[in-house]
Chains A and B, each alone.
Chain A
């Protein structure tokens, strides 16, 4: 059996752990008395990361280690900031992270069942639209968006899971394109989902789903004209929703000039900008900032908190990590065995990175702010689980790539030697 050498990422994971432990050591000393709890939390997180790495190695030697390290680093940064803001939320986040890891491993293993996700395409579509339609009636409002559902005392955000379903639905419809009818159902699905999300005031998710759909559509079909029409339709939809919905209008007004309405609606954006500015190039230092003055500091605005306490260079490095994530995800997609797997891997990559772009762009006032979580970093159970599922799917594709290459090498060496 031939094997392609896999570079070990254990050293990098070690640095992630040192990084994370030293941050928790700082946090444990912050109140002039030694706080054992935060150090214990840090050690617990180290244990979780180690178990995750070992389990992924055990599943296959071809699991993409570097994507795993990037995700772990981002999650560790998120956990540090969450703990610094409020230990209770950080503990909940750690629990969600563990559940997310179980889901990730399950997704990785499910990718081995080659036709499983293709066979449940129509149930996925009906379920996604159904659950979003139900939300319109029974959804709970939280932070301006009516997109929460409470099951047994735990609140979920179904739109996060609809994103995972979208990846498979797109890949299934784009695999074979001979007639327009082959891809049209997925377009109708994306439009219905986006419309439902706009009605629920979850603008970030709507933007994310439309954007992802257009990018993957262009990659899959290469039809420039249709993609431009789609882009135009999206623009018309955006303008229409600007005129139809007051909350869209308010968001754009805040984006144009947050200082005009500083005391009321522009407060969040203005505070975020001031936090980033006060951090400066090197940051104020962990525990030295005032992040709690920003609304939604542990979910949407976590990037501003990171910039305030760790500095702008650190913030740029976080953005760069997402960029490296795109490159590695795209490489997995390019090496994929089948077109279906290629589209699945590419969809996951686009979804995670476009989401980070939308929220970071909103926080630094590059585009109008739409509430959405920063993948791996923000607090949010549904978001964490959904992102880890996407990561698991990517790993599943990467494992199949490695096994395929191994087979090809075996076959090639057979040819050389048997002659």
Chain B
């Protein structure tokens, strides 16, 4: 009797094993394609001088150069974040800035508070426009889009 149950389990588990390996395979291929596109975008930006970036206001402008935004950027105090802000007023995972079809959005994480141009953000999701001033806790930064690079302008002059 137990042997029968075991045999049945084994034959059912076959399907699980096949499903698991195919799922892993598909996920790896999917992630690889995403990662490849992301890398290509970043390289394009670096070459063509077209970048969406954020610029922190003092005293948080530690990077002095601002941050170029990639497709998804997690902002917070945690070291795991893509953009890491060392300030007690910022939550460990505070916000996500992401791009969808060329538009850039900011999304709150949990109950985090975000002000855009001085106004409290009430929706979960808000679109960011060029020159917006965003405030997370005490930390403020500008969102900017730059379409011409320093190199090209220098050549132009």
Which of B21, B31, B39 is in CB contact (< 8 Å) with A66? B31
Given A32-B3, A285-B11, A317-B25, are A416 and B32 neighbors across the interface (CB < 8 Å)?
A: no
> Which B residues are CB-close (under 8 A) to A339?
none
> Whose C-beta in chain B lies nearest to the C-beta of A16?
B24
* Contacts A3-B82, A7-B31, A413-B65 given; does A314 touch B21 at CB 8 Å: yes
Interface of B is mostly: helix
- Contact of A317 with B21 at beta-carbon distance under 8 Å, contacts A5-B73, A335-B39, A417-B53 already known: yes
Instruction: Report if B13 contacts A (CB, 8 A).
Output: yes
Q: Does A233 contact B (CB under 8 A)?
A: no
List the B side residues contacting A129 at CB < 8 Å: none
The interface residues of chain A lying within 8 Å CB-to-CB of B125 are none
User: B129 near A: Cβ within 8 Å?
Assistant: no
Interface string of B115-157 (1 = CB under 8 A from A): 0000000000000000000000000000000100111010000
A363 at the interface (CB under 8 A from B): no
List of A residues within 8 angstroms of B49 by Cβ: 412, 415-416
> Given A282-B18, A310-B14, A419-B150 in contact, is the A2-B28 Cβ separation under 8 Å?
no
A109 to B72, CA, bound (A): 29
From the candidates A15, A32, A310, A328, name the one contacting B23 in the complex (CB within 8 A): A15
Mark A253-289 against chain B: 1 for CB-CB distance below 8 A, else 0. 0000000000000000000000000000011011110
Residue A12 lies at the interface, judged by CB distance under 8 Å to chain B: yes
Q: Would you call A327 an interface residue if the criterion is a C-beta within 8 Å of the partner chain's C-beta atoms?
A: yes
- Tell yes or no: A321 within 8 A of B by CB: yes
B35 proximity list for chain A (CB < 8 A)? 7
Q: How far is the CB of A150 from chain B (nearest CB, A)?
A: 37
Q: How many residues of A contact B (CB 8 A)?
A: 54
* A19–B39 touching, CB < 8 Å: no
B residues 1-33 in Cβ contact with A at 8 Å: 2-3, 6-7, 9-11, 13-18, 20-25, 27-29, 31-32
Stretch among A85-93, A193-201, A403-411 lining the B interface: A403-411
> What chain A residues lie within 8 Å of B31 (beta carbons)?
7, 9, 66
A317-B15 contact in complex given A2-B68, A7-B35, A328-B32, C-beta closer than 8 Å: no
Interface assignment of A377: CB less than 8 Å from any CB of chain B:
no
Docked complex: A373-410 residues within 8 A CB-CB of B: 405, 408-410
Residues of the B chain whose Cβ atoms lie less than 8 Å from the Cβ of A283 = 14, 18
**B51 interface contact, C-beta 8 A:** yes
A9 / chain B contacts, CB cutoff of 8 Å: 31
Is A4 in contact with chain B by the CB < 8 A criterion? yes
Q: Is A229 an interface residue (CB 8 A)?
A: no
The answer to whether A5 touches B72 (Cβ under 8 A) is yes
CB contacts (< 8 Å) of B17 on chain A: these are: 19, 23, 286, 310, 314
CA distance A26 to B5 in the complex (A): 12
Judged by a CB distance under 8 angstroms, whether A73 is at the interface is yes
CA distance A413 to B9 in the complex (A): 58
Shortest Cβ gap from B59 to chain A (Å): 17
Contact A311-B153, Cβ < 8 Å, known A409-B42, A413-B67: no
Which listed residue (B28, B34, B42, B72) contacts A12, Cβ 8 A?
A: B28
Contact among B29, B34, B46 with A324 in the assembled complex (CB-CB below 8 Å): B29
Given contacts A66-B28, A412-B46, A416-B49, A26 and B13 within 8 Å (CB-CB): yes
Which B residue sits closest to A328, measured CB to CB?
B32
Decide if B10 touches A287 in the complex (CB within 8 Å): yes
Q: List 7 A-B contacts (CB under 8 A).
A: A19-B21, A321-B25, A331-B36, A412-B49, A415-B150, A416-B51, A416-B146
User: Other than the known A15-B20, A313-B18, what 14 A-B pairs have Cβ atoms closer than 8 Å?
Assistant: A4-B38, A5-B82, A12-B27, A22-B16, A30-B6, A66-B32, A282-B14, A288-B7, A310-B14, A317-B21, A321-B25, A331-B32, A412-B68, A418-B150
**Residues on B facing A (Cβ under 8 Å):** 2-3, 6-7, 9-11, 13-18, 20-25, 27-29, 31-32, 34-36, 38-39, 42-43, 45-46, 49, 51, 53, 55, 63, 65-68, 70-74, 82-83, 146, 149-151, 153
